[in-house]
């Protein structure tokens, strides 16, 4: 064998503290990213619930407006028919 000292790639090319620091930064950034995605998923679920409630309310309002419009039309037709029956002599 040769008398050359073995090279430690981690210590000579990349210091161990740099590797540990970089790994800590990557782990922290992935943890923050996961927390943000989790928060976004819960916000989307909340918004979907709110939209379903809004849609149900909107549909009920449309039904109420249609019923009221029908009643107004019936009363208007009844008033017009009374005017025709009670025409001046």
Chain segment 1-42, per-residue pLDDT in tens: 556 666 666 656 777 888 899 999 999 999 999 999 999 999
- pLDDT surpasses 70 at 79: yes
Look at residue 5 in the predicted model and tell me its pLDDT: 61
Angle CA 72–73–74, to nearest 5: 90
Residue 9 CA to its chain's centroid (Å): 48
Q: How far apart are CA 35 and CA 28, in angstroms?
A: 11
Say if residues 34 and 40 touch (Cβ distance below 8 Å). no
Chain segment 45-68, per-residue pLDDT in tens: 999 999 999 999 999 999 999 999
Q: How far apart are CA 20 and CA 2, in angstroms?
A: 32
Q: How far apart are CA 25 and CA 17, in angstroms?
A: 12
Residue 4 CA to its chain's centroid (Å): 63
């Amino acid at each position: 064998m040769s008398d050359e000292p073995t090279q430690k790639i981690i210590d000579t090319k990349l210091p161990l503290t740099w590797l540990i620091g970089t790994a800590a930064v990557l782990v922290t950034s992935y943890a923050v990213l996961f927390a943000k995605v989790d928060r976004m998923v819960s916000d989307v679920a909340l918004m979907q619930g709110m939209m379903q409630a809004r849609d149900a309310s909107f549909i009920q309002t449309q039904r109420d407006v249609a019923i009221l419009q029908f009643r107004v039309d019936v009363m208007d037709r009844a008033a017009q028919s009374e005017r025709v029956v009670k025409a001046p002599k």
